[in-house]
Structure formats: C-alpha cells, structure tokens
Amino acid sequence: MSISHPDRFRTRPAPSLKQSAAERRAGAPQAAWADPVHDARGNMVRMPRPTAPTAAFACTCDAWDRLARVLVDVNSNGAYDAGTDVLVARYEYDGVGRRVKKHYDSQAPAAPDGVDSYRQYYYSRSWQVVETRKAAAENDEPETLQPDDCTDFHDARFNGRRLRAERL
C-alpha cells in the first residue's frame, strides 16, 4: 500500500465570481418574488403566484388550519370581496378532515377568472384517495348504476368468523 506524500497535493483555485456564459444568456436578473406571509398559527396567508411571482395570492384557512380559499385579492385587504376579487380555489372537507371537494379555476394561475371546475374525492377506509371525479357544474353528481344481481356479503350468523353470500 502506498501513501501519497503531502507535498504532492495540489489545491484548486477558488471558483471565479464572474458571470458564466449561461447566466449572461439568461438576461437580466428577474424581479424579486412577493414575500410569503404567515399568520400567528403558521398558515400561509399570502403566497407568490407561480406565473407572476411579484403578485400574490391571498389564502384563508378554516378553524382547523385547513386551506379553505385561494383568491386574487385585488384591493389587498385579506378578505374575499365578491365584486372585485377573483376566487381561484375553494375547498370542502368532511367531518374527519379529508378534502372531499375542490372548486377551482381552470385558467389559474395564469389568468384566473373565477371558479369553473369541480373535483370530488372518494376515499377508502384507510384514507387513501381511490377515485376523483371532475364535474363542470357544482351540482353535477355522477350516476352510479348497480346490476340487479348484486351479491351482498355480510355476516348473518357467524359473528365475524365466516362470510355467507346472500342474494338481495
């Protein structure tokens, strides 16, 4: 086994602080992002818009710290004004805290013009999202059809030890 002698090591010069060619091609530095703002509970109440970083979305949370609304706050008062502000998204939750419905603007974040799409979420018993359905109107409920020969498996006699199939 050979060990290098310490005076054979070379040090590399420090990297240059000059702008690289790629940085020069990118152009002038971009404008600063809008600063995110958090409330006393740690919820983000203002966030930069992805397509216009100098502008901000206003967010509101419900009493359980869940995101409830995202809007373009035109007058910067932190509240939703139906006449001037544009609602980008609104969220609904069930009793155990799962998001079950999302009302959103399909044009956001580029050109928000109000809520025009809806997405419903369906969960398994272990809180996994098993299905999402998109609707064009808030009250569009998808129709579920079941065949006439559905078989219901339930425990009629055996107290959880065996299942017996019975025709409905």
pLDDT one digit per residue (tens) for the chain, 168 residues: 555 555 665 666 666 666 666 666 666 566 678 889 999 999 999 988 888 888 888 999 999 999 999 988 777 776 677 778 888 889 999 988 898 888 888 776 666 777 788 888 888 888 888 888 887 766 655 444 444 444 444 444 444 544 444 544
Q: What is the pLDDT of residue 155?
A: 45
CA distance 87 to 84: 10
Over the Cα atoms of the chain, what is R_g? 28
CA atoms within 13 A on the CB side of 91: 19
Q: What is the pLDDT of residue 140?
A: 56
Please tell me the predicted confidence (pLDDT) of residue 82.
73
Residue 119: partners with Cβ closer than 8 Å, 6 or more residues away: 101, 102, 104, 132, 133, 134, 135
Tokens, residue 87: 């609602």
